[in-house]
Homo-oligomer: A and B are copies of this chain.
Amino acid sequence: MISEFYKEMTGKTSVIRDFFAYSMERAKVVGAENICNFSLGNPSVPCPDSFTKEMIRLLSEKDPMAIHGYSPSLGLDSTRTKIAESLNRRFGMDYTAKHIFPTTGAAGAIAHAVRCIAGDGDEIITFAPYFPEYIPYITGCGAKLRIVPADIDSFQINFEEFEKMMNEKVAAVIINSPNNPSGIVYTTETIDKLASILNEKQKEYGHEIFLISDEPYREIIFAGADAPFISKHYDNSICCYSFSKSLSIPGERLGYVAVNPKAKDAEMIVPMCGQVSRFTGHNCPPSIIQLAAESVLDETSDLSIYETNKNLLYKALTEIGYECVEPMGTFYMFPKSLIPDANEFCWRAAKELDLILVPGDSFACPGHFRIAYCVQTETVEKAIPRFKKLYDMYK
């Protein structure tokens, strides 16, 4: 009587995981220092000292029953209030605690948000290249995910295809900017055009279309980027955030849903998130992590290494001859594969050069490969001659 659905899923492996597993096996043979591993999006810098100090202060000075006690199902009031204040201060918004729902990372935030605004028979649209875990979040609420093909010249939105795919069933659109895997940032022009289409379609269809903005990389922005705060540009918007990358605490599972105060039913959505949690047995994120994070909301880890790595790698790759849209944020880059089959290309790089990349196919963008340069700068330096060799194998 065990579930055939979940049982069958365990048999399917993820391509990214396959490359990572290969790199681990290979490291046992040649030593980890000889692998240039760009497969995983794990932060490569520590959390801010202030976060560690605040954790130790809470543990040393506070009543253990207070710091480890149940959080209310909608999150700690103090944390919700401080998140709202930080967003208002930084982005000129009008959030209150009522609009903030702490979650277990952006994953938890999106899984909650979609259940609040979509159900059986609804469609949710996103844009390639996109994060493939959207699929379970969305099928989990009964809706269907549809993917707008990428504009591979800019990785901004392919509006022509988007407008063709819009229809009355669309309950929400999910965007991820700064983007995993392309590293691009949607410009103010892109966001305003998207907002204008959504506003028009809302009128035409006579119902809300929510914009779910998946923003775990919001704080990793490079010089010259035009990086608007998305919820400022569209009323029916829900920001899904994670502290995993900004504070380098991915294992502690903290993020939030921030519902635009101007959204329809704005103050209803957070209590609905609380109801969603009851079905998944998730409840709230860990109390001590909520408490520690609320004191460092305007801080980040030292994120400068990501821009250093991007500059080094982008310059080297384009000089070698790779075609690549320049990243404006995140710690990813998404060049064109030198052959149409990016999977074959990445396996050759792995097997012949110990250079671990991942193909773009699982991001719905074949013919490209992702470089996760959240690594030490020495690893980037060591990889550059290998990228040259790889290029020479094909050209």
Chain A interface residues toward B at CB < 8 A: 1-3, 5-7, 9-10, 42-47, 52, 55-56, 59-60, 63-65, 67-71, 103-105, 107-112, 115-119, 122, 133, 136-137, 139-140, 171-172, 207-210, 248-253, 264-265, 268-269, 271-272, 274-276, 278-289
Q: Give A206 to B314 CA distance when docked, in angstroms.
A: 62
Q: A59 to chain B: which residues have CB within 8 Å?
A: 52, 55-56, 59
Given A115-B6, A207-B1, verify A283-B68 contact (CB < 8 Å).
Answer: no
Across the interface, A253 reaches (CB within 8 A) one of B52, B271, B286, namely B286
Whether B43 contacts A3 by the Cβ 8 Å rule is no
A-B pairs, top 4 by smallest CB distance, nearest first, are: A111-B281, A251-B287, A140-B279, A280-B280
9 A-B pairs (CB sep. < 8 Å): A2-B269, A6-B116, A6-B275, A10-B275, A55-B59, A64-B248, A111-B281, A111-B282, A280-B280
Copies of this chain in its oligomeric complex: 2
Q: Give A268 to B2 CA distance when docked, in angstroms.
A: 9
Whether B10 contacts A251 by the Cβ 8 Å rule is no
Residue of B whose beta carbon sits closest to that of A55: B59
Q: A112 to chain B: which residues have CB within 8 Å?
A: 281
Q: Give A203 to B52 CA distance when docked, in angstroms.
A: 56
Across the interface, A283 reaches (CB within 8 A) one of B105, B279, B288, namely B105
Given A6-B115, A10-B268, A10-B275, verify A253-B122 contact (CB < 8 Å).
Answer: no
Whether B282 contacts A280 by the Cβ 8 Å rule is yes
Whether B136 contacts A279 by the Cβ 8 Å rule is yes
Across the interface, A3 reaches (CB within 8 A) one of B63, B67, B117, B248, namely B117
Q: A288 to chain B: which residues have CB within 8 Å?
A: 251-252
